[in-house]
Amino acid sequence: MIEYITQHWDEILLIITSVIAAASAIAAITPTPKDDAVLKVIKGIVDKLALNVGKAKPKP
């Protein structure tokens, strides 16, 4: 598993950033707060995976 991740890290990173970009675009063009909540959850998960916690967390 670790070997797969290290060998395909660029593709994995591309998929993650593409999903976040698509979710951001959907949240920006739709007026409902429900999709904004989904984007907030996705961003929270990515922040935790990137170890953006405590003082390392970026300001909104």
Stronger pLDDT, 45 or 3, i.e. the higher one: 3
Residue 43 · residue 16 · CB < 8 Å: no
**Looking at per-residue confidence, does 54 or 12 come out higher?**
12
**pLDDT given at position 26:** 74
CA-based R_g, the chain, Å? 14
pLDDT in tens, 17-31: 888 888 778 777 777
pLDDT in tens, 26-49: 777 777 777 677 778 877 777 777
Instruction: Please provide the size of the chain in residues.
Output: 60
Domain holding 23, by residue range, is 2-56
How many domains does the chain divide into?
1
Nearest in space to 42 (alpha carbons), one of 11, 20, 15: 20
